[in-house]
Amino acid sequence: MTEPQIRAHDVRLVPAAAAGWGATLVGVLGGSVLAAVMAVISGVVVAVVLCCRARLGAAASGLIAMSVVSCCYAGAAAVHAAVFESSPVTAAVQDRAWISAAGSVVEDPRRSRSPGPPMVTIAVELRRIDLAGTPIELGGRLTVLAPSDGWAHLVPGQQVLVRGRLAEPTRRNLTLAVVRVNGPPLHVQPPGTVARAASSVRTSLSSAAADALPADRAGVLPGLVVGDVSTLPEDVETDFRAAGLTHLTAVSGANFAILLGAVLLLTRAAALGPRTTVLICAVVLVAFVVVARPSPSVLRAAVMGAVGLLALVTGRRRQAVPALCTAVLGLLVWLPQLAVDVGFALSVAATAGLVVVAPVWVDWLRRHGWGRGAAEIVAVASAAHAVTAPIVAGMSGTLSVVGIAANMAVAPVVAPITVVGVVAAALAPWASGPASLVLRLTDAPLAWLVLVAERAGSVPGASIGTSSGAGGVAIVVAATAAIVCSLRIRFVRWVIGGVGAAASILWIVWSV
């Protein structure tokens, strides 16, 4: 990236966002004492810089801002960590005590991959617990591990009463404990009006897809449109994971960017004013959040999608990075557990790649003779894979070799499927027949999507092993940097192009 391209972005908030994220991370992983120490140190730094401001010059303002943010976020993280550490649930986990807990469902139940009977995991926000016969009013979050029967149908917002045995949480993300349950909930309160409406839309969309499409495509469509993977076949899910396409079956920032982009095109065609356009986009955004479930992951995706749209649709690159940093800081204040959430890191990285790296690569490809459409498809897919691959490698110890090619192959069909699927979702609760007819338009694009996932996922060596943790991150970052730098050499570009063309021909022949 050249100096003029760097200056095209306003990066003044990046250090503050990094400081806030790092301080929150310390509190979540290191505990209240370490976070408090960090807050004090940051405060001391602010005082020292203020005293030496004349000597430091222009750098003083940035250092003060970063230290103030670090102090505030470390202090907030210390409070959250102290509440977590002092919870009676945290102490009871050591005794594997039995507990009765009342709370609200936070996210849709997720299928557990553990062997044995079908199980689901559910995040529950606590209101009250009964521990050793003593009722206690308190907050916090539990992860419930329960049989699918009686639990898989729950929706976010429903109030439930559970009884089970406490166990250690599997991750350090301010979750108080895991509750292992053997039977159905003791009590389930019916969902509210908004939750019922959202469930009606999701159920109607799945039914319309089942009527209009073959089983594999009907299972993919609800996941791609509204994040409903309850009907996704396991073999298709496995193919998507191996091909590096798993992100398509969950609501991401791309869903919101595509949807809001379509709305903007319609409002511009109708010559509506800016205020009306903003109002319509806001209504559509809120409605889609409700249908896709207002879980932390969906709210995160909504914010990131709006930031990505700001860069791509309005062309205001300078505002994109500050908007992303503001989104990160705001979400971490509201949900500090996102500091250790892999999905959050992937969303931030992908959005940064979209608004910072992809435009530069598009310009580079166009200077070398590529058309705008082809350059954007290749650059967006490559940038997204380049910035997220280190995180995936650090988390899973694997790297998808076919991920870029698979994402480029399906890129042209993702937006049409999403837009048509949203139209069908709006029709399905009221007119299932027309909704099914509309969904037939997605048959061919979905067939291509499933075919690419199947073929790419079954390629020998589709994914390679790397060391997990920091080692895996370092390896993939170094490899990515080496590839990007080598592309400046014409001979290397010709070699990569020739290998890619040969691989494509072999893949087509093998597929046939």
Q: What is the CATH number of the domain that holds 149?
A: 2.40.50.140
Task: Please give the structure tokens belonging to residue 499.
Answer: 């290998």
Judgement on whether residues 285 and 166 belong to the same structural domain of the protein: no
Judgement on whether residues 251 and 351 belong to the same structural domain of the protein: yes
Residue ranges with strand state E in 181-326: 187-188
Q: Each residue of 110-120: pLDDT tens digit? A: 887 777 788 89
- Structural contact between residues 86 and 342, judged by C-beta atoms closer than 8 angstroms: no
Give mean pLDDT, residues 125-154: 87
Q: What is the DSSP letter of 109?
A: -
491: in domain = no
Judgement on whether residues 213 and 185 belong to the same structural domain of the protein: no
Give mean pLDDT, residues 130-157: 86
Judgement on whether residues 172 and 208 belong to the same structural domain of the protein: no
Judgement on whether residues 419 and 445 belong to the same structural domain of the protein: yes
Task: Please give the structure tokens belonging to residue 467.
Answer: 């060391």
- The burial class, CB within 10 Å (0-12 / 13-18 / 19+), for 37 is middle
Domain that holds residue 259: 198-473
Neighbours of 91 (CB within 10 A): 12
Judgement on whether residues 281 and 349 belong to the same structural domain of the protein: yes
Judgement on whether residues 228 and 312 belong to the same structural domain of the protein: yes
Judgement on whether residues 132 and 253 belong to the same structural domain of the protein: no
131: in domain = yes
- Structural contact between residues 224 and 457, judged by C-beta atoms closer than 8 angstroms: no
Give mean pLDDT, residues 426-439: 92
Judgement on whether residues 321 and 358 belong to the same structural domain of the protein: yes
479: in domain = no
- Give the residue from 69, 86, 103 where a domain finishes: 86
432: in domain = yes
Pairing mode of beta strands 119-131, 98-105: antiparallel
- Residue 130 — φ and ψ, nearest 5°? -120, 105
How does residue 342 score in pLDDT terms, banded at 50, 70 and 90? confident
On the question of pLDDT at 34 being above 80, the answer is yes
On the question of pLDDT at 92 being above 70, the answer is yes
- Give the residue from 166, 190, 214 where a domain finishes: 190
Judgement on whether residues 344 and 437 belong to the same structural domain of the protein: yes
Judgement on whether residues 43 and 60 belong to the same structural domain of the protein: yes
Around 351, how many Cα atoms within 13 Å sit in the side-chain half-sphere? Answer: 32
**What's the pLDDT at 506?**
44
495: in domain = no
Judgement on whether residues 136 and 252 belong to the same structural domain of the protein: no
The span from the CA of 414 to the CA of 225, in Å, is 10
Domain count of the chain? Answer: 3
